[in-house]
Structure 1
Amino acid sequence: MKLILITLAYYLLQITSAATVFDSSCGSDAAISCSSSSAASCCFESPGGVLLQTQFWDYNPATGPSDLFTLHGLWPDNCDGTYEQFCDTTTTIADDGSTVQSIIVDQFNDATLYNDLNTVWKDINGNDHSLWAHEWNKHGTCINTILPKCYSSYQTNENVYNYYKILYQLFETLPTYKWLTAAGITPSTSKTYSKTQIQQALSSNFGQNVYFKCDSNNALSEIWYFHHIKGSLLQQNFIPIAPLSNSNCPSTGILFPPKGNSGTNPQPTTTQTSGPAPTGVPATGYITLSGKSGCLISNGKYYTSGTCATYHFSSSSFGGVSISSSKGGCGIDSSQNFICDSSIDASKNQFQIKNNEIGFGGNYDWCLGSSTGSGSSAQTNIVLSDGSCSSFKINVSSK
């Protein structure tokens, strides 16, 4: 018995030395995210109160083990389904390939976590560590309960390490492949499945319906598990909820191709790399306002007369679309205005384009903002809608 206790004590010591002990100071009465109008705090996740654990099935070319939906990220979406991105620039990390290893292994002495992530967290183009850094920079920095101020004695990069560790631990509780195959849904070059079959296999284990996405071949490609969270992310009190997005998969005829299938199926559209514009989007074009005359000029403002600016559209690394004009990169400023300027890093302002409509952070509604000048020469800001104005869509138009 004494030997067992000594062994247990040694084991616990090793865990403590290899990882930060998670904060539990928020208490059992901490609020559940999206359940109230409370302000963001170290014990209340807001505005990103919906935590999505996302997984990919990259089959051609194959990425990751043949029996695993690979980890993609942990995303804090707002309670209405929109989201913030690249929130805290003071805690972003370099994507040079060595930084994430240095943080996890050298700084926090957790080689086990690093090795586990190397197995399950894969990029379709082999840029695994760049993907890890990107996910922290774009999404992790928007989780307010792990801001440096939320630690009693913060170490540099401690929140980065905690994000990676919690992301992996949550992923381990959501074994998508195991759940599907246990229900008889197995990879096949010919067999197909229904949306109901897939949903039942996943929801019966998760406890809520699950969002899943199909690629252009009607093949299963992504799984998103939606959660609320009680208190701080560090407490890991995840609460499964129904998805805020609707599946694009057909009712029947859904493929689940084995990884490495060398058939005629093209590469799935789960991940975009830097380069040409996404399919259906011109590399260059104008930006117009739905139902309104005129267009955007090169600084990103709406102008009812004059020459429309030529905008450039390209796929960003790991998803999204970068937009630029002759003025420089385009993004969203602190007042939610669309703006283009040489000081803006277009890669850190990732837009979405769906049916030629431009959105940002999942929001495709825009409003007219402040103006300079008058009449036909007025230059007017366009601003992301907050729901309090008469909104419209902005569109990519071919030159």
Structure 2
Amino acid sequence: MSTFDTQCYPSYQPTEEVPDFFSRTVSLYQTLPSYDWLAAGGVVPSTTVTYTAQQFQDALSPHHGGNQVYLGCTDGNQIDELWYYYYVQGSVQDGTFEPTEFGSSSCPATGIYYYPKGYVPPTTITSQPATSATATATATASCTATATPFAGKGYLYVYNSTGTQQGFVISTGKWYTAAGTPATITSSSTTGQGPFTLTTSKGLCAIQADSSLFCDASVTTGAQFYSDGSSLQFNGSDVFSAATTPSGTAQGVIFAGDGQPVDIGTQWVPKC
């Protein structure tokens, strides 16, 4: 991008362009709540439902000046990425980004899967010659070894009182609804049976005196959790709650029990 050339800066200081680049990138990204737009258009993550490319475009293009959004799919027809194209009037730093469209999408017209974040679709194993038996068994085991809820590593998704998936748990144990990646959570159980502890990259997870979920390196004794199918349980209940539903980049505190105004539930998705 030419407007990031150092010669364009009066009295240039080394790396002066770096915060400009990230500031503009983040500010533009925050104007594109694709997940919310898709949900408003009836396109929500599902392990069984498929969508058409037109359904995606109908939900997204009105927010992109009527222009088509690039839909990127994997070989398995799974939606993998969205690209919004722009022309810039003026400099990148303070110019106006005008929506446009570029090229054709890589997704098929129909049969597009929009899986929940972290979901791994079942792998179909076809019969193999006897000489491939070991390789086939290894491939199968790699995905089935952690298929049991709360056994090994996985992700925790948050569901509201209507049963709609709404964000996920991040590494601090808080609730996040913006685009991003859920925390990889490790259960101490190898069978999915409780009691077990949960650990994120931040540390052990505890239920504090005020009933809030907290994951941190300072935690020395993790909470004893149980499972009800794929739902997390604490003290015999799979009900959790929050003061409010977080929006944007806000992070919501999750409380065990129904002591807060917003009731929520959880679903464990194995990390394969």
The normalised TM-score by structure 1 is: 0.30
The structure carrying a bigger strand percent of its residues is 2
The normalised TM-score by structure 2 is: 0.44
